[in-house]
């Protein structure tokens, strides 16, 4: 585009080429900005998950029962998905 601008002598065409060149540059910057923004949103989501996990782990307390009279047993399993899957579920 720059070499084409050097060949053109008419002022109107030079202006048109300059506008086209600047538009292309701006579109590339826009795509990069969007990509960076998406990456930062994913990182933010992962950090929020980590904070939630730390808070959840800090508030857990294990209590042993001294006596069990009713003969019922209850087991709970908690698991954490990988950040990519958690982000996908939250997004869609």
Domain boundaries, the chain: 2-57+81-91
The set of residues, in sequence order, having a beta carbon less than 8 Å from that of 53 and lying 6+ positions away, is 80
Question: pLDDT tens digit string along 22-75?
Answer: 999 999 999 999 999 999 999 999 999 998 888 877 766 665 655 656 667 677
Angle at the Cα of 72 from the Cα atoms of 71 and 74, rounded to 5 degrees: 145
CA dihedral 41, 47, 53, 87 (to 10 degrees): 20
pTM: predicted TM-score of the whole model, two decimal places: 0.48
What is the distance between the alpha carbons of residues 56 and 77, in angstroms, rounded to a whole number? 14
What is the distance between the alpha carbons of residues 17 and 88, in angstroms, rounded to a whole number? 42
């Amino acid at each position: 585009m720059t070499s084409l601008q050097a060949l053109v002598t008419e002022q109107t065409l030079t202006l048109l080429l300059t506008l086209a060149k600047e538009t292309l540059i701006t579109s590339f910057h826009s795509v990069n900005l969007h990509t960076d923004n998406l990456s930062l949103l994913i990182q933010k989501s992962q950090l929020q998950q980590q904070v939630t996990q730390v808070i959840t782990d800090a508030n857990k307390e294990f209590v042993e029962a001294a006596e069990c009279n009713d003969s019922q047993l209850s087991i709970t399993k908690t698991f954490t998905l990988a950040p990519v899957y958690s982000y996908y579920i939250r997004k869609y």
